[in-house]
A = this chain, B = another copy of it.
């Protein structure tokens, strides 16, 4: 999908996309995208394990993260702000976790879309266009999501992936 987006954006930049190509948003796929079943809410124990792993990864690299976990209903389960982590990222970490759970996808999908020229995404309620919001899964079901913020999006994502990897089954 990323490649398609880039091709479209390149075409747009060349001023050719609307003139010569069909609007990619007009295609009606047969299947629902991101059709993941919502499961039972993640337990506190598992949420804490995910946060501990994310924080450990950040500590190893000398990063300072805010890390939030929400459950499958989007409600906050646990949160930690590392010493010296930026205050703005309290809300951003929670927002990333919430958006991942509510949209059932990594928040990187929105970052990619917006950076590829799909600016309409900015207007959708609850969207956050920065990577670092990742699903927590169990047996193919979404049980929650983890969100990291404090560094670059790429640092946030690296911390977040370590967190999710520690508990996903």
Contact = CB atoms under 8 A, between A and B. Distances in A.
B64 A32 contact: yes
A124 B154 CA distance: 15
A70 to B, nearest CB: 10
A48 B48 CA distance: 11
Contacts of A114: 119-120, 122-123
A101 interface: yes
A40 B143 CA distance: 12
Copies of this chain present in the complex amount to 4
Interface residues of A, number: 89
A168 B12 CA distance: 36
A101 B87 contact: yes
Interface string A70-98: 01111111111111101110111001000
A119 B154 CA distance: 16
Nearest to A66: B76
Interface in A42-86: 43-45, 48, 61-64, 71-84, 86
Interface of A: 5-6, 9-16, 18-19, 23, 25-35, 37-38, 40-41, 43-45, 48, 61-64, 71-84, 86-88, 90-92, 95, 99, 101-104, 110-111, 114-131, 150-155, 158
